[in-house]
Amino acid sequence: MPDSLSQTFQNWQTFYFLIGGAAAGLVGLTFVAITVGSGVITQREIAGLRTFVNPTLIHFIYVLVTASVVVMPTVTRMQLGILLALVGLVSAGRALISLSFMWQQYKRHIVDMHDWAWYFLVPLASYLIYVGTGAGLLLRTGWALDGLAWASILLLVAGIRNTWDMVLWFMLNKKEPPQP
Query: Residue 178: inside a domain, yes or no?
Result: no
Query: Residue 89: inside a domain, yes or no?
Result: yes
Query: Residue 47: inside a domain, yes or no?
Result: yes
Domain that holds residue 126: 6-172
**DSSP line for the chain:** ---B-HHHHGGGHHHHHHHHHHHHHHHHHHHHHHHHHGGG--GGGHHHIIIIIHHHHHHHHHHHHHHHHHT-TT-BHHHHHHHHHHHHHHHHHHHHHTHHHHHHHHHTTSS-HHHIIIIIIHHHHHHHHHHHHHHHHHTT-TTHHHHHHHHHHHHHHHHHHHHHHHHHHHHHTPPPPPP-
Number of compact structural domains in the chain: 1
pLDDT tens, the chain, 180 aa long: 455 677 777 888 899 999 999 999 999 988 888 787 776 666 666 666 666 678 888 899 999 999 999 988 888 899 999 999 999 999 999 888 877 777 777 777 766 777 788 888 899 999 999 999 999 999 988 888 899 999 999 999 999 998 888 888 777 776 666 566
Query: Residue 78: inside a domain, yes or no?
Result: yes
- pTM as predicted: 0.83
